[in-house]
Amino acid sequence: MSQLNSPGSTSDAPAALPPVRQLPAQVPMADADGGLPPDPSRGRRSGPGWGLARLPYWLGLFVATLAFVYPLVWLVSASLKPKAQVFDNRLVPQTVQLSNFVDVWAAGPVLRWLLNSVMVGLMSATAVTLSSALVAFGFAYFRFRLRGPLFGLVLATMMLPGAVTMIPVYLIWNSLGMVDTQVPLWAQNLFGSAFYIFLMRQFFLGVPRELFEAARVDGASFLRMFWQIALPLCRPALIIVFVFELQASWSDLMKPLIYLQTQEYFTMPRGLKQIVDAFAMSGEYHWEIAMAASVVATVPMIVVFALAQRYFLDGLATTARHG
């Protein structure tokens, strides 16, 4: 009996309670009729009211898309038409004439002009990307007196029209003996661009400063931090700047008109101008050939933008987060 009534005996211990069943955290309560209440979020994303509310949005997108796509569609359509039907405003050619694209190569050294445009575009894009990134890294990382006013001065150069510096810059290149060469078309980008400096500075400011401080503790130089830390982490910004400048150089006509005189050095826009001028001198305009040449000059940029579009989205999203 002493063993049965001892404190250590298990007979006096209370029985284990059954586990309490936990209900899900977000189980909707039943209404008075025993059914579940309607989901309020469904009414906002379905039904005729929601569709009508989104109708202006879709109409706006359709109009904007049509405004951007229509000129390209018209250009391709005109390049496939005979001479008499180029300006009939038909998007579907009544007569398809594929020989226009064959005649383009006989109108001038188009392949040479394309190669010149590729070379000048790559050098221009590479020069402005590296130089602007280096300046932007300096404004983003270093803390020095008058940093704000100096950066504001750089941005102020964006308000200076290019026509103001056109003649002084030409005189400089002429004194260096670089006129009628392709050097002035890309060498000016070695000094950076104010817009690209501002764009990449925003990206560099988003890189944690602790990464650079840790690299400095490990003995890394400033140039090594720029090359091995800053540039890899800001790849979307670099690609955006590179593609933008490539497109700007590819479609630029003003600089080739000013500096290029020999047909061998012409870029594609300058070559198109040469083709149109030749038609004007002969008194017979072959606009179908000019349109076909324009399509040949446009296709490479369409391919480049199609391949780099995801970097544009990443760059816009990152810039928005950085403010």
- State the pLDDT at residue 43: 47
- Quickly list H helices, the chain: 40-45, 48-79, 99-107, 110-141, 147-156, 162-175, 183-186, 194-205, 209-217, 222-225, 231-233, 235-250, 254-259, 268-282, 287-322
Per-residue pLDDT tens for 101-111? 999 998 889 99
- State the pLDDT at residue 179: 93
- State the pLDDT at residue 206: 87
Average pLDDT of the chain to the nearest whole number: 83
For the entire predicted model, the pTM comes to: 0.77
- Quickly list H helices, 220-286: 222-225, 231-233, 235-250, 254-259, 268-282
Length of the chain: 323
Q: Specify whether the CB–CB gap between 44 and 50 falls below 8 A.
A: yes
- State the pLDDT at residue 9: 46
Q: Mean pLDDT throughout 171-190?
A: 94
Q: Mean pLDDT throughout 267-288?
A: 88
- State the pLDDT at residue 246: 94
Per-residue pLDDT tens for 35-60? 545 555 554 555 556 667 788 888 99
- State the pLDDT at residue 1: 43
Q: Which has the higher per-residue pLDDT, 200 or 55?
A: 200
152 has pLDDT over 80 = yes
- Under the banding of pLDDT at 50, 70 and 90, the label for residue 5 is very low
Token pair 């661009």 is found at 193
Q: Mean pLDDT throughout 188-214?
A: 91
Q: Mean pLDDT throughout 74-90?
A: 90
